[in-house]
Structure 1
Amino acid sequence: MDLDTVFAGLDRIAWPELHHAYGPADDVPDLLRALAATDEESAEEAEQELWSSIVHQGTVYRATVPAVPFLARLAAAGVRSAELLGMLGAIAESTDEHDPERPGAARAAVVAQLPVILAMLSDAEPEVRQCAAWAVAQCGPGAGADARAALRSRWTTETDPTVRADLLTAYAVVDPGAAQELCATAKGTTEPPQVRVAALLAIVDTGQPWGDDSAAVVAALSPLEPHTAGGQWEREALESLVTGLHERGDVDAAIDAAIDVAVSALDRAVEAVGAGADPKESAQEATWAAGCLALRSKTAPARLLPAMLPLLDHPDTAGDVIDAIRDWAVPAPQAVPPLVRLAEGAGEHADRALAALVRVGAPEAAGLLARHFEDRPRALAAAFDRTMQRPPVPLPCAPELLDAVRARLAALTAGATTAGPRQSLVAGGLAAANEPVHLSGVLAGWGPRARAALPELVDALPHHPFAVSRALAAIADAGRDPDVVAALRARAGTGSVPDRQAAAAALHALTGDATVVLSVLGPALDEPNGPRDNCLRAVAPLGEQARPLLPRLRALLAEPVENRSTVPAVEAALTAATATWELTGDQETVLPVVLEGLGWAERPWGDRVAERAAEVAALVGPAARPAEPRLLAMLDRPDTAAAAARALAALHPGSDRPAGVPLTELVDRVLPSLEPGAYLNSALAALKTLAALGPTAFTPAQLDRIRGLAEGERRIVGSGIQIDIIRNDEEFRAAARTVLAGLTR
């Protein structure tokens, strides 16, 4: 195909009237022509520009659609064939369409070029054949009968194992109903490992039965990862198998099968350890897949952990098992003896093992930590994290551990060369910067039981005021500890606003005297570019004592709307509105800011602001009814529906149709917020809304849904810091059980 034929009609398209990621698409013709340049650097640059403009981070545009035929012709003419087939596949795959002329137009454009793409399934280059199969697969079952026939025909003649595996995967995508027979043959021993693994993945992807014969193939081929290298479908095979099985419709059977797959892989790794072979590759794949399953399945950890424990005996495999014990939140008494042995050693594994012992609350943890403070930063961080959980579960305040904490805090204070700002992470390293925070947090968790550490805390206060102030407030007694009161009063008078505020807040907590904290907060609220929101959050605990700040709060609310163009600025205004309402009940002052905040629901990344505004509307109650139209619109957005539903119920207390919406419908709007993969705070907020709607809002089916959240096998919390997901999910389940009990009482 000559280039004149390739580019025929290119200049008849009104490219300036079309748009891509960076505006008018008048540059697209030159970029398409540059792909055929003899200069490799220019061609590669043009390709990257097209990726960036017409398939920007997976988004397709109006200008993408007319570019597709030219990309297909260029690929067929041998111009960057593999790369352009990859681009065509990405266009077909995209569901993120920006201002489409009609939904699915970009994929339809690729489907229209399938006759050109299918011809490249017979290209002399294996990579081109692979990319052609991948591009066809991205068109899905809509690729049509010709595509199905072409893939099946090429399968019968293809000899390259990697291309053959990708052809099987592509065929299973475009014709899942006919894939069963092919997969049954392909997983047999006559096929190369790449094809057998592709068959296993296709069996799971297409919902075919998973039997002992499939599990046997996994055991025979483990580790699976080497058999997927070079394929166009970039995924970790064992993880995809176990999580895919778990996601299938028959949950119990799928979980059993998924766990069997992971356990068989773990057994294989253990056998390697016993035989003196290097188990690292098999063990890493198996423990990673087990961890991914544990993040999805409530029952998986207890069933997987026993199979993993023998891997603690090998230095190359111990780390992943230690982390699993630390993160999975399941009782593991059989793991304690080997962890203790590791924790008594030296090096990184010793620290990680002790962190796991701390996390699971092993009685041996306190003594081990006391003896090894200086070289166990992970274990100290784990002890601190226990204090920060909801509710806190600090380590026992054993005398030896208290003495060790005091000694270490004193040593750090003695080594501090300057007072004031907290240590730079760059200058001192993360562990050095965090250690005083962690030590102070452990002491705070013990409360008055840590009274013996007050001298060390007072000495450390000038160097670490933020963390130490919190500890002093938790431990000291104003009547018995005048030196603590004096130290906090002095620290509240100097330094940065956050540090002064921390000391003043601790002083207020100890004495009930708000004079000092008001003297810190007042001037800070006058600084438009200062830490206003944090200061305003400190107003709430003051209650009526915050009344002297009321003029400043009113002045902040009266500022022009254009002053609140950023998220921190509008959040500060909403916090000020909350405090003002609680002090005055002044609807006229508060409501404009609430309406302004609700308007952020329509902005990119504005959901958090809108949720905060809905919370204020709920606090205001019936006086906030002018906000109803915006709250009703927020019901259509999963990220804001829970806050909006709670506010609407508060605007119409006792009504079974707040703002004309039946309570059962509000429940239906909230429940999608509780799908697997949620963040803990969002999930807890949704539960709070469900509880606020009350027992009469729920149908029996909806109550069953709540029961499933509390007692079901699948985890709901699936986002956030990975090491906390399982514990967060357990916290969510406990809250769901409480809500369920209240609704069914």
Structure 2
Amino acid sequence: MFAGIDEVDWASMEHAYGPADDVPALLAGLASADAAERERALDGMYGAVHHQGDVYACTLACIPFLFELVADPAVAERGAIVELLTSIGGIELAEDDEDELDEDEIEGAANYAMAAAAVCAGAEVFVGLLADDDRGVRLAAPLALATLHTEPARVLALLRGRLPVEPDEEVRLALVEAAGRLALRHVPVADTAAHWLSRLAMQEYAPGLRLAALAQLARCAPGALPVDIVPRVADLLRDLRAAHPPAGPGTRAAAEAAAREGVQSPTLIGQLRALHAAEAAGPGTPWATDLLRTLHGALGDRVEDRVALLTDQLCSPDEGQRLDAVRMSGGLIRVWRGPYDELVRLVGEQLAEPDPRLRDAAAHLLADVRVLAGPAADALAARVAVIPGTWIRQWENGQPSLDPAVLALAGTGDVRALPVLAAVLEGPVVPHDLGHAVAALGTAASPLAGALRHRLSGIARGPSARGGAMPLMHALASLRADEATPEVLRVLRGGTEAEAPRVRQSALRTLGAFGPGARGAVRELEALMRRSEGREAVDAADALYSVSGDVDAVLPVLTEALTAEEPPSVRAASGLAGRLGARAAATAPRLRALLGHDDLRVRVDAALALCEVSGRSAETWPVLLAAWTQNPYVRVRVADTLARTGAAAAGSGAAHALRAELSSVRRHNARDGGFGTSDIAADAHLLALCRQALRDPGGRG
């Protein structure tokens, strides 16, 4: 094995962590008889040689030797090597991506192309693996063929021919998934594949196979889905539960522990396997989760169908299925607008379940959706009542935070969170999200002002200023508790640690929120404004204006900052100019000049300020409309200006953008792989502003 491997100049190549002279040892490790050594070698391949999907020269040099391993039945766990080859050869750059490559990325793109060509050239090997004795190999081979083989019609015929004789249920599902992949990648076989999937979904096949076929149909041919997709899937899930009874809480917990114990490893691959084994532990159909995720993802904006499916899942007697439903509900609610009251109520019911994973998942989801968690308020209050003393989560690496059930209850504006927050204020630590909880309660949290002020006075000069003072000041600012001005001033004066600028910025924002009630801070704000530079000078000026209303005092700082080089200072100054409005008319020429700035955020801030300063929106709307399309996160501020100034009539473009937003079912700030806890509230606020700007009382909620 590995003939010619010593002739490769590995030392002249590099991978993610330096010279690639260790690659031969990794390849040998993949062929080892020792399971731990194979796992370390696979971890090294993904961690260095194919790091985060990258393809290096050494990755290309590995391909022939990886094919040797796959073709040798004496090598254990060849399925993992098939998956590695599929990943190496399966990266495709869209035409748009190719157009945007800079010079440094061209070599990487060439490596991807060479890897695809090399792996595709050897893809005939995967044909023989469809009937391999190793189940893991048979699991990996269908997707490899669908991704890499250059004859899609032949591959589809092979998949169809293998299905009736394949004995393993999960491998049969892999065959169906591969057919869906073929249909998505190759138009000439799309209709044939969709027709076959439709037959599998309709005929008297096993429920798991029919569910898999429906999931793939939703991906590649949604128009071919049956009109009764929701009751059909619900029936299939019930059939699956009958054929594969779920584990009880005790049985599942024991199986999870055994699974984790059996695959403990210090490698990332080992940890991922342990996690997968734990999730799949015990009786039931763990692969059904993947099928349902595929189905939900493919259904996309069919929100009503997805809600109906999740509602059925949340009523299942299978705890695992309900856990999956809670997690998938989060993916739905965070991305798509829709009517979620009943779904949220059912998620709230999971807070009373004995399974800690289910309770925790439900609490975290409700904390994330906050403003939509109202239908679960009673369930949240009941949960909070039974966890006294554990209202704060102390993380090993991170700041302490409120228990998600407490945060969610406060997020609904429910006053039953008040006693809990009062008790937290008497405790030893201040959770970083306390300010968010108090702000969500609004004026109902006013009774906490005294305790907040007292707590702030005790840590204002301590080493934990950032960890404790900032959430306290956030809370006091939301309550406009200007009686805490002396304590906030002490924070403003103190702080020598590296985070002091952020703490001072928080203090300045708090004093600004207090407004005229903080007049005792005027002299210190004036002094700080005079001795500061850049962003901090503007922040001090902003706070001073809020407290004193003295335009003449802040205009010089504002004017100077608008000519600064640093975007943060310019943006802060633009914001202050917008607040001053016509009283900052002298800044209009500089704001106009900023409309052509390289930084989109600077252009937007200047345009919004100019609209307020000049009272004319026609000259700013082209900038704002372009930014509306390029960066959805500016939309709330743009819509706010349009709503307050009545400037939506500035041009048909403005009204068209507002109406398009109201007609969209996708949240404006939805993004792949990320979510902010204020995103849903911001999206709801945007819709309200769009309706206000158009004087439209209706629209999607």
2:346 maps to amino acid: A
2:471 is the alignment partner of 1:438: yes
**1:218 Cα offset (Å):** 1.9
Within 1, Cα distance between the matches of 2:279 and 2:160? 21
Contact 2:2 2:65 survives alignment (8 Å): no
1:594-621 per-position Cα deviation (integer Å, ceiling 9, x unaligned)? 6xx64xxxxxxxxxx4664687799999
Instruction: Return the alpha-carbon distance in structure 1 between the equivalents of residues 59 and 213 of structure 2.
Output: 34
State the TM-score, normalized to the length of structure 2.
Answer: 0.66
Q: What residue is the counterpart of 2:669 in the other structure?
A: 717
> Counterparts of 2:155 and 2:684 in 1: how far apart (Å)?
47
Residues 126 and 302 of structure 1: CA distance in aligned 2, closer, same or farther (over 3 Å): same
Match of 1:130? 139
For 2:484, the equivalent position in structure 1 comes to 453
Native 8 Å contact 1:646 1:692 kept in 2: no
Question: 8 Å contact 1:93–1:139 — kept in the other structure?
Answer: yes
Counterparts of residues 171-190 of structure 1 (less than 5 Å): 171-174=179-182, 176-177=193-194, 178-185=196-203, 188=206
Distance in 1 (CA, whole Å) between partners of 2:292 and 2:486 is 57
**Contact 1:60/1:106, CA 8 A, preserved across alignment:** yes
Residue number in structure 1 paired with 2:682: 728
Contact conserved, 2:542 with 2:576, CA < 8 A, in 1?
no
The alpha-carbon deviation at position 267 of structure 1 amounts to 0.9
- TM-score, normalisation: structure 1: 0.62
Among 206, 214, 220, the alignment partner of 2:233 is 214
**Could you say if the C-alpha distance between residues 199 and 740 of structure 1 is closer, same or farther in structure 2, counting changes exceeding 3 Å?**
same
Partner of 1:201: 215
Aligned to 1:347: 389
1:3-35 deviation line (CA, Å, top 9, x unaligned): 55x989x98xx9999x99889999899799878
Letter in 2 for 1:170: A
1:164 pairs with 2:172: yes
After TM superposition, the structure 1 stretch with the greater mean CA deviation from structure 2, 684-693 or 240-249, is: 684-693
Please give the secondary structure, in 1, of the residue aligned with 2:335.
Answer: coil
In the TM superposition, 1:246-265 aligns within 5 A as 247-248=298-299, 254-265=302-313
5+ unaligned residues in a row in structure 1: which ranges?
273-278, 388-392, 418-422, 547-577, 599-608, 622-644, 651-665
Read off the aligned partner of 2:333 and give its amino acid letter: A
Unmatched segments (≥5 aa) in structure 2: 99-104, 184-192, 248-275, 393-402, 495-502, 612-617
Amino acid at match of 2:484: A
Q: Match of 1:328?
A: 369
Report the Cα distance in structure 2 between the residues aligned to 1:21 and 1:309, rounded to whole angstroms. 48
Cα distance in 2, alignment partners of residues 408 and 25 from structure 1: 55
Aligned equivalents of 2:670, 2:236: Cα separation in 1: 30
Check conservation: 2:380, 2:406, Cα contact below 8 A: yes
Indicate the residue corresponding to 2:261 in structure 1: none
CA distance 1:341–1:159, change in 2 (3 Å): closer
Matches within 5 A, 1:315-714: 316=356, 317-329=358-370, 335-345=376-386, 346-348=388-390, 351-366=403-418, 369-370=421-422, 372-375=424-427, 381=433, 383-384=435-436, 387=439, 395-396=442-443, 400-413=447-460, 416-417=461-462, 423=463, 428=464, 433-447=466-480, 450-463=481-494, 465-475=504-514, 477=516, 481=519, 483-488=520-525, 505-507=542-544, 509-511=546-548, 512=550, 533-540=567-574, 582=588, 598=598, 609=599, 612=602, 649=622, 673=630, 680-681=633-634, 695-697=651-653, 703=656, 707-714=659-666
**AA aligned opposite 2:87:** A
Structure 1 residues 235, 217: CA separation in 2 closer, same or farther (over 3 Å shift)? closer
Per the TM alignment, residue 341 of structure 1 is displaced from its structure 2 partner at its CA by 3.8
Give the deviation of 1:288 after TM superposition.
1.0
Quick check: 1:88 aligned with 2:85?
Answer: yes
Please state how far the C-alpha of 1:717 moved relative to its aligned partner: 2.1
1:295 aligned counterpart, secondary structure: helix
| Distance in 2, Cα, partners of 1:380 & 1:20 | 43
- Residues 14 and 20, structure 2, Cα contact 8 Å, conserved in 1: no
Which has the bigger relative contact order, CA under 8 A and spacing at least 6?
Answer: 2
AA aligned opposite 1:446: L
Whole-angstrom distance in 2 between the partners of 1:687 and 1:520: 23
What is the alpha-carbon distance in structure 1 between the residues aligned to residue 359 and residue 682 of structure 2? 25
Q: 2:331 aligns to what? A: 292
Q: How far did residue 216 of structure 1 move? A: 1.7
How far apart are residue 304 of structure 1 and its match?
Answer: 0.4
Q: Give the drift of 1:311.
A: 2.4
Secondary structure at the aligned position of 1:477 is classed as helix
TM-fit CA distance, 1:75: 2.3
Where do residues 47-196 of structure 1 align in structure 2 (5 Å cutoff)? 55-60=50-55, 71-78=66-73, 81-96=78-93, 99=106, 106-107=115-116, 109-139=118-148, 143-174=151-182, 176-177=193-194, 178-185=196-203, 188=206
Aligned equivalents of 1:403, 1:515: Cα separation in 2: 33
Q: C-alpha root-mean-square deviation of aligned residues, in Å?
A: 5.7
Contact conserved, 1:59 with 1:95, CA < 8 A, in 2? Answer: no
State the number of aligned residues.
594
In the aligned structure 1, how far is the partner of 2:307 from the partner of 2:602? Answer: 41
CA–CA distance in structure 2, aligned partners of residues 22 and 161 of structure 1: 38
Q: What residue identity is the alignment partner of 1:265?
A: Q
Which residue in 2 is equivalent to 1:311?
350
Shift of 1:130: 1.9
Tell me which residue corresponds to 2:500: none
After superposition, give the CA deviation of every residue in 1:671-715 in whole Å (9 maximum; x if it has no partner).
Answer: 865xxxx853378669999988954459xxx94x85353144333
Q: Aligned-pair distance for 1:385? A: 6.3
- Give CA-to-partner distance per residue, 1:231-253, whole Å, 9 cap, x none: xxx9985476267346438x5xx
Partner of 1:625: none
Change (3 A) 1:453 1:50: closer
Residues 364, 404 of structure 2: 8 Å contact kept: yes
